[in-house]
Chains A and B, each alone.
Chain A
Amino acid sequence: MSTVDDLNTVLAGEHAAVYLFATLGGRTSASAEPTLAAGLRSAHSIHRARRDQLVRMVLDLDGSPEAVAVGYELPNASRTPTQIRRGALQVESRCTALYSDLVARTQGADRSWAMRALVDSAVRQLGFGGLPSDLPGT
């Protein structure tokens, strides 16, 4: 698998994360659940930035960036704050795993970038009720 394919695999995940965090944020009341709403906003912002970065990285390799899908399935019903928090944790956990794989498949600057994203994603899980683990993303 080429590096473009590896990057596009993660890009597909980031497309989904951007969509899902936006959806989960739209279902969360900023006044009733300010901490959750802020966490979702922050997650949406950081994943959007990562998506854009991945697009640039693919283009720099003369590749074609993975296109965004028409829609993405929510990990659960996501109707209550508890469900939304749990759903956000699932989305973030998937991203952590994707970056963990990307670390293994890259080198140099790309690997460094993937490692920073892996660490950030692992810590971000905590904000959605995740618990620390020995080896996040594996």
Chain B
Amino acid sequence: MPAPPSASSPRASGRGPALSRRGAVVAVPLTLALAGCRWGPEADGAGEPVSGTTPPPPDADRVLVDQATALIGDTAALVAAAVAARPRLGQQLAAFATLHDAHLRHLAATPVTTSAGEARALAGVLKAERRLQEGLIDLAGRAGSGILARSLASMAAGVAQHVAVASEGTR
């Protein structure tokens, strides 16, 4: 999952002013939200086979990042639960929430998503989608019905749009 726009410049923990109670209330849900978006069954690089080939193995560093994210997320959830149960601890534990938040942001911004494995998988998908686009164009050209031709050509145009958007991230 790509880093959120606000995650591009993680704030170093412990250098800023201590969070107010209100700040802690804001920071904890953010930490949970960030932690939550890293959890789940997503197996990076282990998607569907591309063009009948064996899917590339998950990138080792990506697995480590996911593990670190889950570890931090678990601890952040513990901190959040403690603050929720004992609100007066909020100010005292705010630094931990800020720390975990900063670490999660840093991990999210760590450029491990451009691994060779992912690039190959993406290239394979884009190649297959372009083949689909050309295949639809070819079928549209042979269609006896103008309505069918328009539908198939429009489908090809839709594929082309999505390929163009997905290709933007590879440049």
Contacts and interface: CB of A to CB of B under 8 A. Distances in A.
Q: Do A and B come from one complex?
A: yes
Interface of A: 96, 100-101, 103-106, 108, 111-112, 114-115, 118-119, 121-123, 125-126, 130, 132-138
9 contacts: A100-B157, A103-B150, A118-B153, A119-B153, A123-B160, A123-B161, A123-B164, A130-B161, A137-B150
Contacts of B141: 108, 111-112, 115
B87 interface: no
Contacts of A137: 150, 154, 157
Interface string B149-171: 11101111110111011000000
A100 B161 contact: no
B161 A138 contact: no
Interface centre among A108, A114, A121, A122 (most CB of B within 10 A): A122
Contacts of B111: none
A118 B150 CA distance: 10
A104 B161 contact: no
Contacts of A101: 150
B24 interface: no
Nearest to B155: A135
What does DSSP make chain A's interface, helix, strand, loop or mixed? helix
Contacts of B137: 112, 115, 119
Given A103-B140, A111-B141, A122 B158 contact: yes
Given A111-B140, A118-B153, A135 B146 contact: no
B135 to A, nearest CB: 12
B69 interface: no
A122 B161 contact: yes
Contact of B154 (A112, A125, A136): A136
Contacts of B161: 122-123, 125-126, 130, 132-133, 136
B31 interface: no
